[in-house]
Amino acid sequence: MKLNQIVLTATLSTAFTFNVLAQGPEAAKIELDATKIDKAKEIIDKVMENPKHNVKSKAWYYRGLIYKAIADDRTGIYSKIDPNPVEKSIESFKKAMELEPLKKGYYKESEKGLADMFTPAFNFAVVSYQRKDNIGAMKAFWVAHRLQPDNLQVLSYATQFAFDNKDDALYEEGLIKMVNVPLAKYQEFNKTQEKEEAKIKKESFWQQIAFFARDTKKDAAKTEEYCKAGLKEFPEDKILQSILLEMYGKAGNYDAALQEAEKQVQSNPKDLKALQNLGIIYEKLGKEDKALEVYKKAIVVEPNSPEANYGLGAYHFNKGAVIMKVISEMDMPTYNKKGKAEEIKAGAFFKEAMPYFEKINSIKPNDSKTLSILMQIYDVLGMKDKKDKTSKQLEALDK
């Protein structure tokens, strides 16, 4: 009889104890220890609504542990139950420390929890990416970066996801940081990577920041600055060279453009793009003989290049087109006096241009721009059959 009473008393006592625990953070910790993370989250969220508990470092510390477990879940089961577990865990640990100004209570435990957040943040970023939550991945990678700012790989991921999510502010921040990382650090990291695609190339970030300054920020001065800085580290980078020349051209600074283009050709005489750029700049500066010389070098370098053929063809075509424009603006007495002679001059230039555009047409058939130019050439030279054939090609393209 007494035994039954004792058992009954013990049972009541256990139930009473559990009810008490259910009201506090300890109940959430019990569920966390049992790896029932979803239940732990449910309890701690309710606990934190209680003014009695949300001013205690213990409650905030346990909340930090629970959201940390959500972020660090690699099964994909619990990581779905909250979109921002990384931020919430960090917030919780910081709050727990803030509530212990004398660094007692759960201060040290929270400090350690905060210090250990890099791996959960990184894992949550990867899991978010795998389930195609690019926003979640971006946020987590940026948190991971701020926890380990010297981790080059994480910074590169954070920057890439900022670009993918069109977050210009974070993308710019990432690019600025990436180009300021010493080249030696890239080289050190790349030595550990067996696959080429896993290597991080600093020159690509110089290119990206130049494009960003040019296309997004519309800042010509900054674009020029980034190109020059990037070329100090990678003097042979063709993309940076091209963008820099473009900036000089837009600013009308052809003297600087000429110096840069001549330097590029000198360092690589067989660089087709550099030769083309140099030819264009010579034309802009009125140095037509030098431009023609460069265009001829380009076609020797790559005789079957549409670009090389276009450079030489356009040089002659444009000269003929200028004369034809002058003829079109002549009054009848002037035309009768010298129009025919000018037409012969124009025809000579168009005849020079023709084989180059025909070569382009054989390499890239059905290009409307090339066909339109050939139409004009055939018309001026009186080549009716070729003009009619080209006209039919253009009509077929329109259909």
Kindly write down the DSSP assignment for every residue of 266-280, as one continuous string: HH-TT-HHHHHHHHH
The percent of residues above 70 in pLDDT, for the chain, comes to 94
Look at residue 116 in the predicted model and tell me its pLDDT: 95
Nearest to 378 by CA among 361, 363, 365: 361
**Residues with Cβ < 8 Å from 275, sequence gap 6 or more?**
265, 294, 295, 297, 298, 301
CA distance 297 to 141: 49
Ramachandran assignment for 232, one of left (phi > 0), alpha (psi -120 to 50 degrees), beta (any other): alpha
pLDDT at 247 over 80: yes
Rounded to whole angstroms, the Cα distance separating 109 from 144 reads 20
Note the pLDDT of residue 13. 41
35 φψ region: left (φ > 0), alpha (ψ -120 to 50), beta (else) = left
- C-alpha to C-alpha distance for 186 and 178, rounded to whole angstroms: 10
| pLDDT band per the 50, 70, 90 thresholds, residue 398 | confident
What is residue 21's predicted lDDT score, i.e. its pLDDT?
45
Q: How much is the pLDDT for 14? A: 44
Q: What pLDDT sits at residue 128?
A: 92
Cα 146 to Cα 114: distance, rounded to the nearest angstrom? 12
DSSP character at residue 365:
T
Instruction: Walk me through the domains of the chain, giving residue ranges and CATH numbers.
Output: 22-116 (1.25.40), 303-399 (1.25.40)
pLDDT tens figures, 63-120: 999 999 999 998 888 988 999 999 999 999 999 999 999 999 999 999 999 999 999 9
pLDDT (0 to 100) of residue 171:
98
Evaluate if residue 133 carries a pLDDT over 50.
yes
Share of the chain above pLDDT 90, in %: 82
Please, what is the average pLDDT of the chain? 91
Name the pLDDT band for 8 (thresholds 50, 70, 90).
Answer: very low
Cβ(66)–Cβ(33) below 8 Å: no
Structure tokens at 295: 């265009």
What are 320-348's pLDDT values in tens digits? 999 999 999 999 999 999 999 999 999 99
Tokens of 233: 């580290």
Residues in contact with 93: Cβ distance below 8 Å, sequence separation at least 6, in sequence order? 60, 61, 64, 110, 111, 113, 114, 117
Average pLDDT estimate for 346-372: 94
Total count of residues recorded for the chain = 399
Q: What is the mean pLDDT of residues 174-197?
A: 96
Residue 176 to residue 212: CA distance in whole angstroms: 11
> Is the separation of the CB atoms in 281 and 258 below 8 Å?
yes
Q: Is the pLDDT of residue 352 over 50?
A: yes
Neighbours of 164 (CB within 10 A): 13
The span from the CA of 107 to the CA of 213, in Å, is 45
Specify the pLDDT at position 7.
Answer: 37
- Amino acid type, 294: V
Cα within 13 Å of Cα(330), Cβ side: 19
Return the pLDDT at 351: 96
Say how far apart CA 190 and CA 299 lie, in whole Å: 38
Is the distance from CB of 72 to CB of 86 less than 8 angstroms?
no
pLDDT at 23 (0 to 100): 62
Residue 17 above 50 pLDDT?
Answer: no
Question: What 3-state DSSP class applies to 319?
Answer: helix
Segment 49-68 shows an average pLDDT of 95
The model's pTM is: 0.75
- Burial of residue 313 (CB within 10 Å: 0-12, 13-18, 19+) is buried
